Amino acid sequence: MLANHVWSYAGDNDRSDISSTFVQPFVTYTTKTATSFTLQTEATCSWKNEEWSVPVNAIIAQVLKIGPQLIQLKAGIRYWADSAPGDPEGWGVKVGLVLLFPK
């Protein structure tokens, strides 16, 4: 699980106050062939506006070697369980490429 909280305590009076929490609980299962199955959320709460953004992701990832370079390719689906005004709604797709540099 990853989490953080950001809030303002000083600064210009013409800027809005900030009080925002980010929580990313996740569970991942990795096979012997380096395939990973992940279920996670990336929930954000704006306490000043009392608004939540809660996308839920289901992701499949695979570690591969191209020449000497290890990479991870991943793809998944995203569903917005709750959305603040201006956030996406409904379903989406999440894709990624990660360069890996193990020691």
The pTM (predicted TM-score) of the whole model is: 0.80
> Quick check: 17 and 48 in contact, CB under 8 A?
yes
The whole-angstrom separation of Cα 65 and Cα 29 is 20
How many domains would you assign to the chain? 1
User: Is residue 28 domain-resident?
Assistant: yes
User: Is residue 13 domain-resident?
Assistant: no
User: Is residue 5 domain-resident?
Assistant: no
Tell me the one-letter amino acid at 80: W
Report CA-CA distances (Å) from 70 to 24, 49, 63, 103.
26, 43, 7, 12
**Looking at residue 72, what is its pLDDT?**
98
**Looking at residue 44, what is its pLDDT?**
95
The whole-angstrom separation of Cα 53 and Cα 22 is 10
Query: pLDDT digit string (tens) for 13-69?
Result: 888 888 999 999 999 999 999 999 999 999 999 998 899 999 999 999 999 999 999
User: Is residue 3 domain-resident?
Assistant: no
User: Is residue 58 domain-resident?
Assistant: yes
Higher pLDDT, 38 or 86: 38
Q: 39 lies in which domain range?
A: 19-100
Conformational region of residue 102, where left means phi above 0, alpha means psi within -120 to 50, and beta covers everything else = beta
